[in-house]
Amino acid sequence: MRLVLLGPPGAGKGTQATRISARHGVPAISTGQLFDQQISAGTALGRRAEHYVRAGELVPDEIVLDIVAERLTTGVDCEVGFLLDGFPRTLPQAEALDRMLDASCGPLDLVVDLVVGEDEVLKRISRRAVSEGRRDDTEQTARRRLKVFAAETAPLRSHYADQGLLRSVDGSGSPDEVFARIEEVLAAVAHPEVRASRP
């Protein structure tokens, strides 16, 4: 199963990625986590990325693509697939991913778009700032990240809708409720005959 999880910061992508990964046995690859690890380890790449992460800005595409290409060529089994959380976030990243997959595992199966309103997302981010102490969870950076999402990442919806891959899932409610909705959508990948019988 080759999946992308799309959605604004605070939509619950990380929470749902963990669940999907556990249920379906696909590794979840989070670019945010990869950057966090590099920053904590003080690597050259971490030092290049840190300023952007702290400011709630996107890390430049060439740095992101380096880290993703490396992760997708080491330890990814095309049969098992993968789940991308937080990547792609720009159109050039999505196009680069399409090219990488054309040359390796084949196209994505689905893009799950977690839809959550701005007020709810801001509430969740401020709760997370208290409970997890992320390096980018201040109110100011949260607002900036939402703006960046709207400008840079939301256009990916039409990129994937044009490919027939986009499935929008209501991301409101409890993690269990959201996961149940995602499972319904994923049933079409696990059982393609369900997908074939739908219009």
For residue 134, indicate whether it is catalytic: yes
For residue 128, indicate whether it is catalytic: yes
At residue 12, what are phi and psi to the nearest 5 degrees?
100, 20
**Min dist. Cβ of residue 195 to ligand AMP (A):** 28
For residue 123, indicate whether it is catalytic: no
Give me 120's structure tokens.
């709810």
Which chain residues interact with ligand AMP by CB under 6 A?
9, 31-32, 35, 52-53, 56-59, 64, 86-89, 93, 136, 145
Contacts of 31 (CB under 8 A, 6+ apart): 64, 67, 68, 84, 85, 86, 87, 89
Which one of 2, 71, 89, 124 is the catalytic residue? 89
Tell whether residue 128 is among the known ligand binding residues. yes
* Sheet containing 166-170: order of strands: 28-30, 82-85, 2-6, 110-115, 166-170
Smaller CB separation from ligand AMP, 135 or 191: 135
Provide the annotated active-site residues: 13, 89, 128, 134, 145
Binding residue ranges for AMP: 31, 57-59, 86-89, 93, 134, 145
